[in-house]
Amino acid sequence: MKKPMHHPILISFVSSISFVFSVFLCCFFLSTGSADGQTAPRLKKSSPLHRARQSAEFAAQAQPRNIILLVGDGMGATQIYAGMVAGRQELNLERFRHLGYSKTHSFDDLITDSGAGATAFSIGKKAFNGAIGVDSDTMACETILETAARMGKRTGVVVTSSVTHATPASFLAHVPDREMHEEIARQIMESKVDLIIGAGKKYFDQRKDGRALTANMRERGFYTAFDSASLVQIPKGSRLAALLWDKEAPKMSEGRGDFLPTSTRLALEHLNDSTKGFFLMVEGSQIDWGGHANDADYIVREMIDFDRAIGVALDFAAQDGQTLVVVTADHETGGFAINGGDWSSGRIEAAFTTKKHTGVMVPVFAYGPGAHAFTGIQDNTSIYKHMMRMWGFTASSPWPWRKSAPEKPRRSDTAE
């Protein structure tokens, strides 16, 4: 049998073509490979998918100048869906494209309280139930708000509860017991926060030690406001302490109106005057209280109100382009379930398993630079860690918690 003949020129030509084709394939897969090494299809630069990928890459790489953290106290997935159904409208939460879940357990219990839950957000450590801004060894730890202030950013808190309540206190103070309202108020007075809006005036001015802390706050450069009319007259960019109710804010059903979205917008106007950026924490405090009361209507009204504040934050972030918005909850309250109802009328048939908190995971939503980090299932302490990492911040060392010694009221302390 004769061996087949191989023309040398033909062999050279085929080899060259094979080499060029191999190089082309390598370049193609390298150019379309994802960050984790897996390949992805090539997209036309004008296609919606290409633009979406560009947006995702921007979100993954960019560093936010500002962070807005919105906490729906007691807000689980059912609370959100109840707001959608009963409100018969799309929620602003539906604008998010980066979603995840948070594991909420505290240091000493599967079911967290708001103190330990918010402390996980503020210091990135597990705490025992009832703790405020301290770790499991009762060591005071610098909160992200305090770190932001130390690094030159402006800071603020807006809530529909007392500003000494567990969630806001966890960003502003350090105590082992959330019921220490007067000590929390004193620490807020001495803090570097630029803006607080909420309730709880009694803990500042009707105190057992006789001090009038709002007078002390004015001495420290705060403008104080005790009603909505005076609140809007405060010069933009000023330090502001607005305590609009003696103990707690009223429910939406009792006429609170648009306080939360309006105050969120006002806070953004006050804080957005620094080239270094700001940190703002906003809480829809009373979603939780509706859960404790097993009152579906209470939950729905507060959920929709909180969502309106989320809309204000998202609109600001969309226009600003340098703001990360994170929305989550410290825990779920009530074991809330929807067992029936009617979509067209907005009617829901609600059921509850408890009047207390539950241990389920809660949703996390993120928008803006760095939003990708909040997807998937993570521990609640990760929310703090992601925010700190994106800013390149390192917290100062913990210190032993100590309560201040009682002071005798000074003349200026008791002034109106």
Length of the chain equals 416
Among residues 102, 106, 114, 191, which one is catalytic? 114
Q: Residue 148: CA atoms inside 13 Å, Cβ hemisphere, count?
A: 33
- For residue 339, give both structure tokens: 């067992």
Residue 347 CB coordination number (10 Å): 11
Q: Which amino acid is at 146?
A: E
CA dihedral 208, 214, 220, 226 (to 10 degrees): 160
Residue 393 CB coordination number (10 Å): 15
Cα gap 198→260, rounded to integer Å? 9
CB–CB of 391/408 below 8 Å?
Answer: no
Query: Facing residues of 159 across strands?
Result: 283
DSSP result, 213-282: HHHHHHHTTEEEESSHHHHTTSPTTSEEEEE-SSS-PPPGGGT-TTHHHHHHHHHHHHHTT-TT-EEEEE
Catalytic status, residue 18: no
Cα gap 390→378, rounded to integer Å? 17
**Among 58, 50, 56, 51, which residue's Cα sits nearest to residue 42?**
50
Among all residues, which ones are annotated catalytic? 114
